[in-house]
A and B are shown apart, each in its own frame.
Chain A
């Protein structure tokens, strides 16, 4: 028996851990004006994959999942309403009302952008929504962890406007000057739902892992096509208004993003399995602690201890599979 409602998970092996079982996740997906059918299809595919993962594993109820799109007729089962400026404001207000302190509110914007500075905009049917608009709309979400991902072109200037305490702001470009179509959204959407981005294979993708994955894939895409990269994604989560292209160091950007995670596999509610899982997490934390001592240890001793712990973990995993009747 698995429970599909496990929402926010925090990396057990991360230096900063946060108990998450009580936390809730709320998701708003927005696809803006497409301009061309191929963009409409691409934006929808990306939003739909996140939507499905959120519905299956992240949100506790459907009312915590809102999808606004250029054309609701494109997919009436998933799309809540048309992606207008007013609907976005209304949706964020709805999530503000549903969420509590400590919850995660994930907002993903897919589309084309324009403008600069606080007037940077996501292009929408009707009036566009500017970075300043979002700043206003997000103000009531104090106490929540707000994750705003603007994967649109020319999105870079959203970052300084929306940077703030308990905010993780991710933009597909480093400035409003990078106005060509972007590929970041495609890779970021994939990262949130696939094992490939789960760098430590703990069944959860942290925002940091998802960002790193998408950034690498974007770079590789340009490299493979022998093109000059025209998008350079940034992440800011220390509130200084300055994004980092390679967050995750000991200090600065990445610390908060490392603690916000999204499950990519269902979690069992069987108490025996839960106990084994807990044991395994403890062992994983021990591996992490061992890894930190690596430079101070002799290599043979380190490897012996590492293998011992890993075998312990492997044994627990085998036991979990045996208990659930699943094959490894």
Chain B
């Protein structure tokens, strides 16, 4: 039925309002308001007299006329209109929105006090009012939030068909980062009223909170139910803004404000959009609008801080957070957003202090609690300093990890400083966590983040290699990747869009070491063939809201290839120029036009041709991808046949099939890559050199091939190639540095190769691993110290060993040997 017809029907029915003491009229007005028919709802309410004063006030509040709404609510309360307590609590909420905390508290306390006296006898709607009053009080008194939950639950118990308390419960849970319970509440509300716009919006907010790509669609569903839902439009603005779609964000925020000029979130999104576009006039306009609602709009700044942080503008977020705290030092949201961003920019002590204050006000906030727990745990971490880095890791791992990471980061800094002609401020802090959940909490306050690492600029956070199963990732390339962000964020003033920053980071991984960085998956090429890769103009969506699970990974690789092509065709200077133009505030279209003299569409065309040429061979053996399951085509069938033949022990035929598959797609590095099969077959026929050659082809393109590298090392050693074996073992250390056997083998190889410095590093690594036989490890360390000519340190080490174990004969012999050195004789 058309909306107009529904409205007409409702208007007709309004004539019967007096007959049922306004109950039906109130329902109809609220139904119209829920459907976004605010003008009709107001018209009906204005004709309904005292019985509908409360819904009239609600409609006025929904359209931003807060003073008028307040007057109506006051009148309703004075006249004892139906829903009087709703009117009173609405006044409290309005006062809070307008920054009048004292009035808000006073009104809310009055309701709460009455509820405590005889709330048990109140009807369900009044219990909801009591819950809302407790929510108002909960801004400063966390205990009130428990009371709010109880009141809403009591309302549900009193009337199981009531939607309002379920939506309020969902909002409350979500405000405290409890998405699962929020979802349950909204689901219950939708079960009662499937088309309820606010419940639908609640579900969309849950999706947005969870980072689901379905969030935008969810908001649109709620807006279809109520096109004037200001909160929905503000959320849509936020989602557009997160995807760096500034025009759409501003438009949605504008629509929200057209519906409700008092929508603080909408003013904040307008302000954030303006800020991110360097539009100071627009920002001033938004600030003024927010100021008309609340003269001290802390929430405006808090929301902007949250929004710009999602754009990696952490220093700006910190500034906005501080501004919010200045306006309202009792706002846990303001204190929290300030604290989180202080922690991201390296201000750990201040961040902890502000977070502690935020948590004392809001002890139900999961993010605050998780982060404070983690900070407590991090007190036991150790910091290892290098020239330009501070490596922070669990005490048990810090020495070991820093031994490798320190030199790598220093090398990366020099390399990237030369490439990007930019030197980020130092020291740069890098934190490593042995539990992925801890890394996730450090990053987003909650568990469940899929990434391996995050760069906040000069603070990097990542999984320690112990956080994942051995062979799951390369921690060296991850660190290099994150450090690259430090350079690209820094050079662009944190304005580089996600796609370009990620593209450069993956590109730099590939440049750092031969095997590092992502390579092409068959599905990537199949998706390209099917035209499913995103155009450059929308490549950011692949990171922010991928439309299918694999799209995120594809987008990383695609972005890196795009950067690679730009550098190859326009030189490195073009990459720098792009960063600089982003810093100047230009959008991608203007940046590409200025630097490459191309539109995004023209760049897409060039890129597609470049991809077709670069992957011409594999593309001819891979079929178009429908987005489901593994890629198909001649490569896949050949590889499958090779595996089957190998299984049937038909070696020569299997070998031929593997060789054909490898020739079709030589850069394929999946777990069933042809070189692995070829290496197995070679070993079966006793051809170790061929096995080594096959393994080497894989380890040259797969950064996390732990087993292949181990086997390559062992075979090379057998075949008398200690240098090659050492190189393979060295690669394993960036995949799994906790293998004492690998360290010992590498130390021995280094000794054989007359590389005493490397032997010493490996002996130190073994000691750092706290092996079962620490005495032996320290004895070997002493020997390695002699190897580098440091007899004094060796003597010190061996004395320490013998102090605890005077019977250790090998160490005794070494002590005697050391006495024969000229330095010792002088002592």
A contact residues vs B (CB 8 Å cutoff): 13, 195-203, 213, 216-217, 220, 223-224, 226, 280, 283-284, 287-288, 291, 303, 306-307, 309-311, 313-315, 317-318, 328
Give the distance in Å from the alpha carbon of A20 to the alpha carbon of B673 in the complex.
63
**Across-interface contacts of B816 in A (CB, < 8 A):** 311, 314-315, 318
Give the distance in Å from the alpha carbon of A317 to the alpha carbon of B799 in the complex.
16
Whether B806 lies near A226 (C-beta < 8 A) is: no
Q: Closest 8 interchain pairs by CB?
A: A201-B808, A314-B812, A202-B807, A201-B805, A196-B773, A200-B805, A201-B807, A287-B806
**Across-interface contacts of A195 in B (CB, < 8 A):** 773, 776
Given the contacts A199-B804, A318-B813, A307 and B772 also touching, CB distance less than 8 Å: no
Whether A200 lies near B804 (C-beta < 8 A) is: yes
- Choose one: A201, A224, A315; the contact of B775 (CB below 8 Å): A201
Q: Which residue of B lies closest to A310 (CB)?
A: B802
Whether B807 lies near A284 (C-beta < 8 A) is: yes
Whether A310 lies near B804 (C-beta < 8 A) is: no
**Across-interface contacts of A313 in B (CB, < 8 A):** 802, 806-807, 812
Q: Which residue of A lies closest to B808 (CB)?
A: A201
A281 to chain B, nearest CB (A): 9
Give the distance in Å from the alpha carbon of A216 to the alpha carbon of B806 in the complex.
22
Given the contacts A284-B806, A303-B799, A314 and B772 also touching, CB distance less than 8 Å: no
Whether B772 lies near A310 (C-beta < 8 A) is: no
Whether B772 lies near A328 (C-beta < 8 A) is: no
Give the size of the chain B interface in residues (CB under 8 angstroms). 27
What are 28 A-B pairs at a CB distance below 8 A? A195-B776, A199-B775, A199-B804, A199-B805, A200-B805, A200-B808, A201-B807, A201-B811, A202-B805, A220-B770, A220-B772, A224-B466, A226-B467, A280-B807, A284-B807, A303-B799, A306-B799, A307-B815, A310-B799, A310-B812, A310-B815, A311-B815, A311-B819, A314-B812, A314-B816, A317-B813, A328-B809, A328-B810
Known: A284-B807, A317-B812. 7 other contacts (CB 8 A): A196-B773, A226-B466, A287-B806, A288-B806, A310-B799, A310-B803, A328-B809
Given the contacts A310-B812, A314-B815, A213 and B803 also touching, CB distance less than 8 Å: no
Give the distance in Å from the alpha carbon of A273 to the alpha carbon of B813 in the complex.
18
Give the distance in Å from the alpha carbon of A201 to the alpha carbon of B812 in the complex.
11
- Choose one: A203, A224, A288; the contact of B738 (CB below 8 Å): A224
CB of B419 within 8 Å of the partner chain: no
Whether B466 lies near A306 (C-beta < 8 A) is: no
**Across-interface contacts of B435 in A (CB, < 8 A):** 226
Give the distance in Å from the alpha carbon of A317 to the alpha carbon of B812 in the complex.
8
Whether B799 lies near A314 (C-beta < 8 A) is: no
**Across-interface contacts of B775 in A (CB, < 8 A):** 199, 201
Whether B466 lies near A314 (C-beta < 8 A) is: no
Give the distance in Å from the alpha carbon of A313 to the alpha carbon of B799 in the complex.
12
Give the distance in Å from the alpha carbon of A82 to the alpha carbon of B293 in the complex.
86
Give the distance in Å from the alpha carbon of A307 to the alpha carbon of B810 in the complex.
15
Give the distance in Å from the alpha carbon of A200 to the alpha carbon of B809 in the complex.
11
Q: Which residue of A lies closest to B739 (CB)?
A: A224
**Across-interface contacts of B772 in A (CB, < 8 A):** 196-197, 213, 216-217, 220
Give the distance in Å from the alpha carbon of A224 to the alpha carbon of B770 in the complex.
12
**Across-interface contacts of A213 in B (CB, < 8 A):** 772
A206 to chain B, nearest CB (A): 13
**Across-interface contacts of B803 in A (CB, < 8 A):** 287, 291, 306, 310
Whether B809 lies near A317 (C-beta < 8 A) is: yes
Contact bitstring B393-437, A, C-beta under 8 A = 1, else 0? 000100000000000000000000000000000000000001100
Give the distance in Å from the alpha carbon of A286 to the alpha carbon of B345 in the complex.
55
**Across-interface contacts of A311 in B (CB, < 8 A):** 815-816, 819
- Choose one: A198, A201, A224, A328; the contact of B813 (CB below 8 Å): A328
Give the distance in Å from the alpha carbon of A295 to the alpha carbon of B476 in the complex.
43
**Across-interface contacts of A284 in B (CB, < 8 A):** 806-807
Q: Which residue of B lies closest to A291 (CB)?
A: B803
B497 to chain A, nearest CB (A): 36
Give the distance in Å from the alpha carbon of A228 to the alpha carbon of B819 in the complex.
48
Give the distance in Å from the alpha carbon of A318 to the alpha carbon of B811 in the complex.
12
Give the distance in Å from the alpha carbon of A280 to the alpha carbon of B812 in the complex.
12
**Across-interface contacts of A303 in B (CB, < 8 A):** 799
Q: Which residue of A lies closest to B435 (CB)?
A: A226
Give the distance in Å from the alpha carbon of A213 to the alpha carbon of B771 in the complex.
11
**Across-interface contacts of B467 in A (CB, < 8 A):** 226
- Choose one: B396, B434, B806, B810; the contact of A310 (CB below 8 Å): B806
Give the distance in Å from the alpha carbon of A201 to the alpha carbon of B396 in the complex.
25
- Choose one: B434, B799, B808, B811; the contact of A307 (CB below 8 Å): B799
Q: Which residue of B lies closest to A224 (CB)?
A: B738
Whether B806 lies near A200 (C-beta < 8 A) is: yes
B472 to chain A, nearest CB (A): 12
Contact residues, B662-708 vs A (CB, 8 A): none
Contact bitstring B592-635, A, C-beta under 8 A = 1, else 0? 00000000000000000000000000000000000000000000
Q: Which residue of A lies closest to B813 (CB)?
A: A328
**Across-interface contacts of B799 in A (CB, < 8 A):** 303, 306-307, 310
With a 10 A CB-CB cut-off, give which of A280, A291, A311 has the most chain B CB atoms: A311
Whether A201 lies near B773 (C-beta < 8 A) is: no
With a 10 A CB-CB cut-off, give which of B466, B775, B799, B808 has the most chain A CB atoms: B808
**Across-interface contacts of A307 in B (CB, < 8 A):** 799, 815
A205 to chain B, nearest CB (A): 12
**Across-interface contacts of A196 in B (CB, < 8 A):** 772-773, 776
**Across-interface contacts of A13 in B (CB, < 8 A):** 806
Whether B813 lies near A314 (C-beta < 8 A) is: yes
With a 10 A CB-CB cut-off, give which of A201, A306, A318 has the most chain B CB atoms: A201
Contact residues, B61-88 vs A (CB, 8 A): none
**Across-interface contacts of A220 in B (CB, < 8 A):** 770, 772
Contact bitstring B774-818, A, C-beta under 8 A = 1, else 0? 011000000000000000000000010011111111111101100
